[in-house]
């Protein structure tokens, strides 16, 4: 009797095991096999980590996020772990943690957005050698990292030409975020453009020391406008939002006041239709989508640096405000200089050292 009970119990255990095994097998097939019996193609998933400016900075990070969304839409993906996503950093202490989190969640490619993420991308790429990463605005020499740079100086040069031809006071302002190579490229290019179009114009250069302090950007802009600067260009991320607020506020107080602001990274005309002259566009969205697509197709440029300039349509100048008094002259000059830069006849300086020897042709 005892033996019979043991035998029955064993049979039940084996039956249960068989049933569980069958269930597991069925689930596996559901994940890997399409309804027609063929294998499903696993989605190539992509994510990004913002710098402290945040995903809605109306500038750099937002443009990168737009690129991911464009990639997702083109490939039929949705936001989340099975498609594309982002993690926002509130301080630089979040960079490594966020990159590591996305890598462990299984994203095929993880972007670190911004020069400030160099150390974090380098660290996590070494820790996760089987994962692929990309960094925007810097170079990380690891085989599993694609580095992306831009010729910001070329877009900034055109912005400098526009500012020089629009100013009435011959006093122009430049607000930088932090003193890092990418912002130096903006500064050098802008100063070169002003010099080329109107050598007698002066540029007041000030740095905020941050990319996420709109109130600081407004304070600097207020001082510039009150000192006679009538065109101010910013390359300061979300800090630059303060420039637009100050310009818009001044314009509301005195609609006849001749002041302008120049945006950065994307067409920022929406930040002040009455005061935004143009924007030095940097197509981070295009670069992010391009690198993601290459990786998906098996052409991930790991260990390489891809550079986007005017020639690659990676940078450029947004349309000139229709209310600008010198619109026609600006557009004509911008086209002429664009052609010269694209042809190689003019090499725009990317550093302040190169600016010293720059001669407009």
pLDDT in tens, 38-78: 455 689 999 999 988 889 888 889 999 999 999 999 999 99
DSSP code string of 220-242: HHHHHHHTT--EEEEE-GGGGHH
| For the chain, percent of residues with pLDDT exceeding 70 | 89
The Cα–Cα gap between 148 and 63 comes to: 14
Looking up tokens 């255990």 gives 13
Look at residue 157 in the predicted model and tell me its pLDDT. Answer: 98
Euclidean distance between CA atoms 215 and 358, whole angstroms: 35
Helices (H) and strands (E) counted in the chain, each on its own, are 11, 12
Cα(265)–Cα(347) distance, rounded to whole angstroms? 21
Indicate the Cα dihedral angle 181, 183, 187, 193, nearest 10°.
Answer: 100
Number of other residues whose CB lies within 10 A of the CB of residue 97: 14
Q: What is the pLDDT of residues 77-111, one digit of tens each?
A: 999 999 999 999 999 999 999 999 999 999 999 99
**pLDDT computed for residue 331 by the predictor:** 98
Edge-to-edge strand list for the sheet holding 276-282: 202-207, 171-176, 231-235, 260-265, 276-282, 315-317
> Token digits for 209?
């020391």
| Residue-wise pLDDT tens digits, 214-228 | 999 999 999 999 999
Pair 187, 352: CB distance under 8 Å: yes
CA–CA dist 125, 122 (Å, integer)? 5
Residue 57 pLDDT: 84
Give the span between the Cα atoms of 56 and 65, in whole angstroms: 9
Question: Residue 146: which region, alpha, beta or left (left: phi > 0; alpha: psi -120 to 50)?
Answer: beta
Convert the pLDDT of each residue in 268-298 to its tens digit.
999 999 999 999 999 999 999 999 999 999 9
What band does 357 get if pLDDT is binned at 50, 70 and 90? very high
Does 263 have pLDDT greater than 50?
yes
CA distance 248 to 260: 9
pLDDT of residue 293: 98
């Amino acid at each position: 009797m005892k033996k019979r009970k043991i035998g029955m119990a064993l049979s039940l255990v084996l039956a249960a095991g068989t049933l569980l095994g069958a269930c597991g097998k069925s689930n596996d097939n559901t994940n890997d096999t399409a309804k027609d019996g063929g294998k499903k193609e696993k989605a190539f998933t992509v994510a990004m980590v913002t710098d402290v400016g945040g995903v809605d900075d109306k500038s750099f990070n937002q443009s990168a996020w737009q690129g991911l969304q464009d990639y997702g839409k083109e490939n039929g993906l949705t936001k989340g772990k099975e498609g594309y996503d982002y993690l926002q950093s509130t301080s630089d202490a979040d960079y490594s943690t966020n990159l590591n989190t996305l890598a462990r969640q299984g994203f095929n490619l993880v972007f670190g957005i911004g020069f400030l993420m160099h150390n974090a991308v380098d660290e996590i790429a070494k820790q996760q050698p089987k994962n692929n990463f990309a960094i925007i605005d810097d170079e990380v020499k690891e085989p599993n990292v694609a580095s992306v740079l831009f010729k910001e100086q070329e877009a900034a040069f055109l912005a400098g030409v526009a500012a020089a031809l629009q100013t009435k006071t011959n006093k122009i302002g430049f607000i930088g975020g932090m003193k890092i190579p990418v912002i130096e490229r903006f500064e050098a290019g802008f100063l070169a453009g002003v010099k080329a179009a109107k050598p007698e114009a002066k540029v007041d250069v000030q740095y905020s020391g941050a990319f996420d302090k709109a109130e600081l950007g407004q304070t600097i802009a207020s001082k510039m406008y009150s000192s006679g600067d009538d065109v101010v260009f910013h390359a300061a991320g979300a800090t630059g939002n303060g420039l637009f607020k100050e310009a818009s506020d001044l314009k509301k107080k005195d609609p006849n006041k001749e002041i302008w602001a120049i945006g950065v990274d994307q067409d920022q005309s929406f930040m002040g239709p009455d005061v935004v002259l143009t924007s030095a566009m940097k197509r981070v969205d295009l670069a992010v989508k391009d690198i993601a697509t290459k990786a998906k197709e098996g052409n991930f440029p790991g260990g390489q640096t891809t550079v986007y300039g005017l020639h690659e349509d990676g940078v450029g100048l947004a349309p000139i405000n229709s209310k600008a008094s010198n619109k026609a002259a600006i557009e004509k000059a911008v086209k002429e200089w664009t052609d010269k830069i694209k042809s190689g006849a003019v090499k725009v300086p990317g550093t302040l050292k190169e600016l010293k020897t720059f001669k407009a042709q």
